[in-house]
Chains A and B, each alone.
Chain A
Amino acid sequence: MKISCLLNSKPVDFTTYSDKPLNLLLSEESEVTSITPGCSKGRCGNCIVLIDEKPRLSCLVPAFQISGKSIQTFEGFAKSKWFTDIRRAYEKHAMHPCPYCYAAKSLLIHSIISDNTDPSPEEILQAMKINSCTCISEDHLVEIVKTASMFRRRRRRVRRS
């Protein structure tokens, strides 16, 4: 099956199996290396990508569903200004996710603070629960997301003014 889509803002074509999971498609048939190979069953939450700006578990998305869509992986996201807010939050708390979940956690935090300018601890933990890696404690995770959210609010304020 031939599939055309945008991958990190660049048009790409894949000739692949129609039902191939997106995580495998990206890690085996593109230059993407940020997708951590995991359970492939929607349990570990380490294969998150943004599809049309929304976070998705790429292991649960078949190749045929991405036709015409815009896919952003951590490689693309890391170059954006939005990642700066998250990176600064990690640095401020001197706490970084482990390499296994770094990409997934960063994309998840981005999706939380994009939808909600001031997420509550419950909302943060509920949204982050999809990622099963325990390298950062829940308390620290809440602090990091809160800080990233503050940086994001400031950025928006600056842009508006």
Chain B
Amino acid sequence: MNTVTYITAMQRPKMLYGYILRSTIAHGTITDIVLPDLSKDFLVITAGDIPGSNALRVFDEIVPLLSGEQISYRDQPILAVFGPDKESVTLAVSRIAVSYEASESFDPDPEETNTGRQRHISWGGPQEILQQAEDVVEYTYMTGSQRSPVGPPVGAFAEPTDAGMEITTSSMWPFHVRSTVSEVCGLPKRKVIIHQLPYTPTVGEHLIYPSIYAALAAAAASATGRPSRIIDPYPAFRPELIITRRTALNAEHLPSAESVDVQINQGAFPLFADEIIEHVIAGITPSYGLDAFEATIHTVKTPAAPRSYYQGLCFPLALFSSEAHASNLALYSNMNPVNWRLRTLEDAVKRPAHVLRLRSVIMKDLLEQTVKRSDFSRKYAVYEMQKRRNRLISTFTGYSRGIGIASGRGINGFSTHFACERNYAVSVRLDVNDQVTITTSIMYSPAEVLWRTAAGTLLGVNPAQIQIRTSQNESANSGPDVLHRDSTIISVLITRCCESIKSQRFKEPLPITVKRSLKRAGVSAQEPVKRPLFHYVSWGALALELEIDPVLLRPVIYGVWCTLSCGSLFDEQAMTNTICSVIQDELTVLTRSETGSITIDAIDIAFTVHEETLSVNPIPNVLGLLQAAYTSALTQAMNRSFTSIPSGPQEIFEAIGE
């Protein structure tokens, strides 16, 4: 049966059910908490009741697990109540009275805000060119707030046993769960045993929240000796970016220099801020040629819930600004955006070594394929003619259609600056009767299906018969399993093991066991780096066509055409399905669909292989390209510049200006 065990299935007799009481103010102090009369069946845990340290540590950033007196953001956890069943706990929490003294303004310490959270990169001295240029084009791109859709619940179950504290949760970073429980409960790490449940699908809510819930459940289990479970439907949030791009154009109306300012709102606690900045640098570096470029990226604190990983570490949002800007520059130069791109593509010879390399040959090929399949040039010309009639969208006169295009390269995994050591180990064992067992250092990965397919293909066995196990001995903290980083590296190691077994087969007696491992140390961002910032790169081009419904004022998506080059795929059909699903979900968000999942007449995905590399996850790339193509299509349809995402009926109404 193809079903999954969720945290809700974790139940024991006499189990305690937890509920988190969250702040109703954004910034201020708690003056009083009045608890109702609760029987001995209930347990209340406040910041003062934490047996160890009231801290959630994510590299050098420390977030209080429970708020204490100071409230830093709305919905900050204040206390947790545990009781005999979910209903009684929920009702008990509703009777708790918290008094606050709200602060009028949020004024974070500027020094604290900026320390290590700002980066400046430049080459070629753009300011001089910008000052002297006659034509300077400026656009500001904004990515609005976005919360994760409702998905399977996130939670943790803790059970005190003779061995220590056993935790069951679905975490993208089980090592972080272990260290947080250890620190919060004052237990040695070896006494914290993690059992991993699968997580699917997720945009980021399984990254940090499981550590918080596991620590609270473990604190309750420690205090009472009873198994405890806490489930909380709190969503993950996407960081909000404001990206201002100023571009100097030369006499041929082509870009010569550009200055970019990026402000990243990460809420009250900027988690993964340094890594986010690296991803933003990769995303804002344009595909078009420039003599000079500079970018300043800085994070800001706001009294909002912490926001970090959400479908990536802001790379798609930064790529959106680059590609939407490219289309706007083409529009400003009165050129077809495809011709403009083909003319301005460069191989990045002037860029510093660590910035993403570009391959104009690949980009041109992908663009041309996408243009052909979407009939872009003809449609673009027709819609331009419609636009020039300059009629406002109306119920009866004409139509309002647009087509947008974007092309670019995507990244995979963490940057080489990521401050976490990487240790990976894989062993593959081939037994009699074609029994294959793969043991990895990753506790769970949604890529297990791909690993099975890869090993099955190489060894000529049925993928369904392959067993995948996790070795607690070989597992090591390699940071969170996001962005398919771990999956890609493990895939490489599995492939190497299988190739080795293949060469030994029929020469050596069974069973044959092959082990491979990889160890990489993190490099400080301050150190000079000569190698690329990201190891794995994908390439893509995407076109999107839409029409504005004249009554509902909402975009109707006619089609999305996407061509990708992301190495050799194990399962092209599975990847196509995943990308179709991602496109549909993202467009539901981008269009602010009121009626749930939107219908798209045609989604056409094609893959080409330009580089014989291992499969690279193209989804961050697809997301950024989709966002850029969407706003470009809207811009053409409405004859008004759209530079913010999401953009739905309200924004279209404002653009019409009725």
When A103-B3, A134-B584 are in contact, do A98 and B201 touch as well, CB less than 8 Å?
A: yes
Cα distance A75–B9 in the bound complex, in angstroms: 15
Pairwise interchain contact B152-A33, C-beta atoms closer than 8 A: no
B465 at interface by CB-CB < 8 Å = no
Q: Which of B296-304, B356-364, B596-604 is found at the contact surface with chain A?
A: B596-604
Within 8 A of A (CB), among B1-22: 1-6, 8-9, 11
Chain B minimum-CB-distance residue to A24: B86
Pairwise interchain contact A34-B3, C-beta atoms closer than 8 A: yes
Pairwise interchain contact A33-B5, C-beta atoms closer than 8 A: yes
When A28-B8, A134-B597 are in contact, do A100 and B577 touch as well, CB less than 8 Å?
A: no
Pairwise interchain contact A137-B150, C-beta atoms closer than 8 A: no
B151 at interface by CB-CB < 8 Å = yes
Q: For residue A27, which residues in chain B have a CB less than 8 angstroms away from its CB? A: 8-9
B288 shortest CB reach to chain A, Å = 33
Q: For residue A98, which residues in chain B have a CB less than 8 angstroms away from its CB? A: 200-201
B585 at interface by CB-CB < 8 Å = yes
Identify the interface centre among A20, A100, A102, A136: most chain B CB within 10 Å of its CB: A100
Chain B minimum-CB-distance residue to A78: B1
Within 8 A of A (CB), among B578-636: 580-581, 584-585, 596-597, 599, 603
B573 at interface by CB-CB < 8 Å = yes
Cα distance A6–B596 in the bound complex, in angstroms: 34
Within 8 A of B (CB), among A92-142: 94-100, 102-103, 125, 129, 132, 134-138, 140
Q: Which of A35-43, A64-72, A153-161 is found at the contact surface with chain B?
A: A35-43
Q: For residue B252, which residues in chain A have a CB less than 8 angstroms away from its CB? A: none
By the criterion of a CB under 8 Å from any partner CB, how many residues of chain A are at the interface? Answer: 34
Cα distance A39–B584 in the bound complex, in angstroms: 19
Pairwise interchain contact B1-A36, C-beta atoms closer than 8 A: no
Pairwise interchain contact B603-A38, C-beta atoms closer than 8 A: no
A44 at interface by CB-CB < 8 Å = yes
B527 at interface by CB-CB < 8 Å = no
B42 shortest CB reach to chain A, Å = 18
A153 shortest CB reach to chain B, Å = 25
Pairwise interchain contact B3-A33, C-beta atoms closer than 8 A: yes
Q: For residue B508, which residues in chain A have a CB less than 8 angstroms away from its CB? A: none
Q: For residue B9, which residues in chain A have a CB less than 8 angstroms away from its CB? A: 27, 33
B87 at interface by CB-CB < 8 Å = yes
Pairwise interchain contact A39-B577, C-beta atoms closer than 8 A: no
Q: For residue A96, which residues in chain B have a CB less than 8 angstroms away from its CB? A: 2
B153 at interface by CB-CB < 8 Å = yes
B317 shortest CB reach to chain A, Å = 22
Pairwise interchain contact A99-B3, C-beta atoms closer than 8 A: yes
Pairwise interchain contact B4-A74, C-beta atoms closer than 8 A: no
B127 shortest CB reach to chain A, Å = 46
A61 shortest CB reach to chain B, Å = 17
Within 8 A of B (CB), among A3-29: 17, 20, 24, 27-28
When A98-B200, A134-B585, A137-B577 are in contact, do A37 and B3 touch as well, CB less than 8 Å?
A: no
When A43-B596, A134-B584 are in contact, do A95 and B1 touch as well, CB less than 8 Å?
A: no
Cα distance A79–B514 in the bound complex, in angstroms: 40
A35 shortest CB reach to chain B, Å = 8
Cα distance A99–B584 in the bound complex, in angstroms: 19
Cα distance A13–B268 in the bound complex, in angstroms: 48
Pairwise interchain contact A100-B200, C-beta atoms closer than 8 A: yes
When A33-B3, A38-B152, A100-B151 are in contact, do A135 and B11 touch as well, CB less than 8 Å?
A: no
Contact of A129 among B3, B87, B584, B596 (CB under 8 A): B596
Q: For residue A44, which residues in chain B have a CB less than 8 angstroms away from its CB? A: 150
Pairwise interchain contact B152-A135, C-beta atoms closer than 8 A: no
Pairwise interchain contact A136-B6, C-beta atoms closer than 8 A: no
When A28-B8, A37-B8, A138-B599 are in contact, do A99 and B577 touch as well, CB less than 8 Å?
A: no
Q: For residue A38, which residues in chain B have a CB less than 8 angstroms away from its CB? A: 150-152
Chain A minimum-CB-distance residue to B11: A28
Cα distance A53–B581 in the bound complex, in angstroms: 31
Q: For residue A37, which residues in chain B have a CB less than 8 angstroms away from its CB? A: 6, 8, 152-153
Pairwise interchain contact B3-A94, C-beta atoms closer than 8 A: no
Cα distance A36–B573 in the bound complex, in angstroms: 26
Q: For residue B584, which residues in chain A have a CB less than 8 angstroms away from its CB? A: 134, 137
Q: For residue B581, which residues in chain A have a CB less than 8 angstroms away from its CB? A: 134-135, 137
Pairwise interchain contact A136-B577, C-beta atoms closer than 8 A: yes
Q: For residue B198, which residues in chain A have a CB less than 8 angstroms away from its CB? A: 99
Chain B minimum-CB-distance residue to A130: B596
Contact of B573 among A24, A78, A94 (CB under 8 A): A94
Pairwise interchain contact A132-B596, C-beta atoms closer than 8 A: yes
Chain B minimum-CB-distance residue to A90: B2
1/0 per position for B80-124, CB-CB distance to A under 8 A?
000000110000000000000000000000000000000000000
Pairwise interchain contact B153-A137, C-beta atoms closer than 8 A: no
Cα distance A98–B200 in the bound complex, in angstroms: 9
Q: For residue B11, which residues in chain A have a CB less than 8 angstroms away from its CB? A: 28
Pairwise interchain contact A137-B603, C-beta atoms closer than 8 A: yes
Cα distance A28–B201 in the bound complex, in angstroms: 22
Identify the interface centre among A36, A43, A94: most chain B CB within 10 Å of its CB: A36
Pairwise interchain contact A74-B150, C-beta atoms closer than 8 A: no
Chain B minimum-CB-distance residue to A38: B150
Cα distance A52–B326 in the bound complex, in angstroms: 58
Pairwise interchain contact A95-B152, C-beta atoms closer than 8 A: no
A135 shortest CB reach to chain B, Å = 5
Pairwise interchain contact A135-B577, C-beta atoms closer than 8 A: yes
Cα distance A38–B86 in the bound complex, in angstroms: 16
When A37-B153, A98-B201, A137-B580 are in contact, do A132 and B6 touch as well, CB less than 8 Å?
A: no
A59 shortest CB reach to chain B, Å = 11
1/0 per position for B464-502, CB-CB distance to A under 8 A?
000000000000000000000000000000000000000
Q: Which 8 A-B pairs have the closest CB atoms?
A: A99-B4, A39-B150, A134-B581, A134-B584, A102-B2, A37-B153, A37-B8, A137-B580
Q: List 6 A-B contacts (CB under 8 A).
A: A27-B8, A36-B3, A98-B200, A129-B597, A132-B596, A132-B597
With contacts A24-B86, A43-B150, A138-B599 known, what are 11 further pairs, Cβ within 8 A?
A36-B6, A36-B152, A74-B3, A94-B573, A95-B577, A100-B151, A125-B599, A134-B580, A134-B581, A134-B584, A137-B581
